[in-house]
Structure 1
Amino acid sequence: MTKAIVEVKNLRKSYKKRKTKEMITAVDDISFTVNRGEIVGLLGPNGAGKTTTIKMICGLVIPDGGMITINGIDNQKKRLRAREHISAVLEGNRNLYWRLTVRENLEYFAGNRGKSRKSVAGRINELLEQFRLKDKENEMVNRLSRGMQQKLAIAVAMLAGSEVILLDEPTLGLDIETGYEVREILREIVRTQHKTIIITSHDMDVIQDLCERTIIINSGKVVTNDRVDNLMKLFEVRAYSIKLDGHLSEQQHRLLREKFPQLVYTPDTYQSNLEVDLTNSQEMYELFDILKLEQIPVDTIDRKTINFEQVFLKIVKGEEEHAIPERA
C-alpha cells in the first residue's frame, strides 16, 4: 500500500472571461501529494486557484491537463470509483437538505451511496452520539444552529466511509466553543479512524492547531509545501523587535527602509521601536551599522512570537523571497 492517498500531478486549468473572452490561468502546473492519516491544510488567498483545485480533486471540474489519483484511482478515467474514496463538505450547511430532519439527512445521503437504511442504522446512532446530535435527531435542519448544521455536514461525510474527507471552511461562522468542539472531533477522527483530512480555511488558528502540513497556492502555483512547525520555526527566527533609547534620524530611517522594506518603525515620546525580519545573520550586522551612525542606545532585542496567520501573509506577499520547496 502506497503512502500517498491523494496525488496531484502537473494540474492545469484555464477559464475564459465572459465579457472579454480573455483566457485566465487559474491553476498552473500544480503538483503535490497527501499521505494517509494526515491532516493537511490547502491554503491560498482569494483568486489563487485553491477553489478550482479543490473542485478538480472532487471531480466537479475537469482539468485541462495533469492527473489526480485518489487511492491510486484516476479521477478522470474512473471518476465514480475515485469518488468512493473521497467525501467533501463544501461550505458546511450547503451539503444538507434543510426540510429533512437530522436523522433523515443521514439516511438520505447514505442511500445516495447505495446503502440501505437498515445497514447504516447502527452507524448513524454512533455518529449522532459522537457529534452530540442525538437529542436533535428529529429536528428539522433549518431549525438548527450554524454549529449543529456544520457538525451534521461532517457526520454525513463520515457516514460515507471514505478514506479522504475534504473540508471547506469547517469552522466558518461558528462560535468559539463550537469551533473548538469541531476541531476536537476532527482530531479524534484521524486518531481513532485513521482518516485523511484536507482542510481549506481562512482561520489560520485552525490550521496551526490541526494541520501537520500545509500546501499554499498563490497565482495558480504551489509556493510552499512544508510542515506547519517547520514554517513556524523558520519565520520565528527572522522576526525581531528592537527597542531604542531615542529616535532614528531621517537618514537612518531612509537607509533602513531601503534595506528592510517591511520594517515597521514606531517612535514614542523618548523611545522608539523597530520590528524587522532578518533573513540571515549578516543582515543583523548591517542593521546595527545603520543604528551606529547616530550612536542610538539599544535597550532590548527580542525575537518576536509569530502565529501562523503572519507566516501565511509573509509567504503570499513575498513568495519569491519566502517560497519553500516541497518537503512532504
Structure 2
Amino acid sequence: MITVKNLVKSYPKRGSKERLKAVDNASFEVRDGEIFALLGPNGAGKTTTIKSICGLIVPDSGDIRIKGYDVLKERKKALEQISAVLEGNRNLYWRMTPIENMKYFCGIRGKTLKRTEALRILETLGLYEKKDELVHKLSRGMQQKAAIAVCLAAGTDILLLDEPTLGLDVNSAVEFRSLLKNLQVQGKTILLSTHDMGLVEAVADRVAIMNNAKIVVCEEKRKLIDLFTARGYKVVIESNGSTEEKLARLGFTEWNKDGNAIELHLNLSSSKELYEIMEKFRVNQIEVESIEKELVNFEKIFISYTNGSAKS
C-alpha cells in the first residue's frame, strides 16, 4: 500500500555550508490491512518521512509510492489514496464546528459527505454532543478527535496518523486503541507515528524504529517482543556483605536491593552468555536464589534500539 525506498532528505545547516540529513536512506513498506508503527525519538526523521509521504516535502532522492502511484510524478492520484492527521493544530479550521470541518475537507477532495455519515463518525469518536460547537472551544483532546473525524470522513483505504493520541486523556487513549483495531477490521491500512508505546504494543502489527535519520530496525512487533523476552532475565542473588563489591568487580553497575536480596536485570545476546555469568558467580561464591525470564514492554525495546544497545 505504501512503499518508501532509499528516501533521503537534508537541510542546510545554519551558519555552515554543510547539510544536515533529516532522513538517511530510509526504506520500508506498509502492507495491505496492517497497522504499521513508525517510531523514533524527537529529531529522528519521522515527521520528515511522514510529510514526504503526504507530498508536503520533496525529498532529495528516493522513491515513494502509494498503491503503486509515484508521489512525485503522480501526485494527485497518489494523494487521493490517503488521508492524514498531522501532529499539531493545523488539521482543522477553529472557527468551524467538527461537522463543518468534515464537510469542508471532504468538499476539497471532491466528495459530498452525508450528514448521517458524519454523525455516525462523530458518535464513534464520542464527539456527537460536540458536533455543532466551534473547534476552538473544544479541549485539546476533543480537537484531536475532531481531526481524526475529518480523516475518517475522507473514506480512504489508507490512514496516516501522526501522534493521534496526543492530548487525549487515559480513557480516550484506551478507547482509541479499540477504534484503530475496528478500522483495521473494516479493511483500513494505518501508518501510525507515535510516542505512545502502550498504543504500539496494543495495536501495531509491524514496527520501524528510526534513530539519527536511519531505520535501525523494521520487524513484526511480535518477533521483537519475543526476541527481547528471550534475552531478558531477572536474577536474584543473596547479599552477604561483600556481594556488592564482588558484583562491581565483575563489571555490574546497576542492581536493586531489597533487604538481603539483590535483583539484577540482564539483557543478554544468548543463553550461552547467561551460563558464563553463572560460572563467574560460582567462582566468586555469589549465591543465586532464582533466575527467571523477564516480561518485556515495548518501551524497553524502543530504548534499546535508540540508545544503540540492541543487537540484531
TM (norm. structure 1) is 0.89
Is the contact between residue 241 and residue 302 of structure 1 (CA under 8 Å) also seen in structure 2? yes
AA of the residue aligned to 1:115 = K
Q: Give 1:3-82 correspondences, 5 Å limit.
A: 5-82=1-78
Deviation at 1:222, TM superposition (A): 1.3
Moved more, 106-115 or 243-252: 243-252
Is the contact between residue 232 and residue 266 of structure 2 (CA under 8 Å) also seen in structure 1? yes
Partner of 2:100: 104
C-alpha distance in structure 2 between counterparts of 1:277 and 1:18, whole Å? 40
Deviation at 1:249, TM superposition (A): 5.4
Deviation at 1:267, TM superposition (A): 4.0
Is the contact between residue 95 and residue 135 of structure 2 (CA under 8 Å) also seen in structure 1? yes
Partner of 2:84: 88
Q: Give 1:1-328 correspondences, 5 Å limit.
A: 5-91=1-87, 93-116=89-112, 119-192=113-186, 194-246=187-239, 247-248=242-243, 250-257=245-252, 264-318=254-308, 321-323=310-312
Q: Name the SS for the 2:114 alignment partner.
A: helix
Unaligned runs of 5+ in 2: none
C-alpha distance in structure 2 between counterparts of 1:78 and 1:126, whole Å? 33
Is the contact between residue 144 and residue 167 of structure 2 (CA under 8 Å) also seen in structure 1? no
Deviation at 1:252, TM superposition (A): 4.1
For residues 148-171 of structure 1, the C-alpha deviation after alignment (integer angstroms, 9 at most, x for no partner) is 222211110111122211111111
AA of the residue aligned to 1:27 = V
AA of the residue aligned to 1:150 = Q
Deviation at 1:135, TM superposition (A): 2.0
Identity %: 45
Is the contact between residue 269 and residue 311 of structure 2 (CA under 8 Å) also seen in structure 1? no
C-alpha distance in structure 1 between counterparts of 2:259 and 2:117, whole Å? 66
C-alpha distance in structure 2 between counterparts of 1:83 and 1:51, whole Å? 17
Q: Structure 1 residues 277 and 79, CA, compared in 2 at 3 Å: closer, same or farther?
A: same
Deviation at 1:269, TM superposition (A): 4.5
C-alpha distance in structure 1 between counterparts of 2:209 and 2:188, whole Å? 22
Deviation at 1:205, TM superposition (A): 0.5
Q: Name the SS for the 1:165 alignment partner.
A: strand
C-alpha distance in structure 1 between counterparts of 2:293 and 2:196, whole Å? 24
Is the contact between residue 252 and residue 290 of structure 1 (CA under 8 Å) also seen in structure 2? no
C-alpha distance in structure 2 between counterparts of 1:175 and 1:208, whole Å? 18
Deviation at 1:270, TM superposition (A): 2.8
C-alpha distance in structure 2 between counterparts of 1:98 and 1:274, whole Å? 52
C-alpha distance in structure 2 between counterparts of 1:229 and 1:188, whole Å? 20
TM (norm. structure 2) is 0.94
Deviation at 1:22, TM superposition (A): 2.0
Is the contact between residue 256 and residue 287 of structure 1 (CA under 8 Å) also seen in structure 2? no
C-alpha distance in structure 1 between counterparts of 2:125 and 2:286, whole Å? 59
Unaligned runs of 5+ in 1: 258-262, 324-328
C-alpha distance in structure 1 between counterparts of 2:41 and 2:128, whole Å? 37
Q: Name the SS for the 1:237 alignment partner.
A: helix
Q: Name the SS for the 1:264 alignment partner.
A: coil
C-alpha distance in structure 2 between counterparts of 1:220 and 1:85, whole Å? 26
Moved more, 174-183 or 88-97: 88-97
Moved more, 279-288 or 145-154: 145-154
Q: Name the SS for the 2:111 alignment partner.
A: coil
Moved more, 91-100 or 65-74: 91-100
C-alpha distance in structure 1 between counterparts of 2:179 and 2:89, whole Å? 17
Is the contact between residue 256 and residue 290 of structure 1 (CA under 8 Å) also seen in structure 2? no
Is the contact between residue 189 and residue 195 of structure 1 (CA under 8 Å) also seen in structure 2? yes
Q: Name the SS for the 1:95 alignment partner.
A: coil
C-alpha distance in structure 2 between counterparts of 1:179 and 1:92, whole Å? 17
C-alpha distance in structure 2 between counterparts of 1:84 and 1:178, whole Å? 29
C-alpha distance in structure 2 between counterparts of 1:46 and 1:103, whole Å? 33
CA-atom RMSD, angstroms? 1.7
Deviation at 1:81, TM superposition (A): 1.6
Q: Name the SS for the 1:45 alignment partner.
A: coil
Deviation at 1:61, TM superposition (A): 0.5
Q: Name the SS for the 1:105 alignment partner.
A: helix
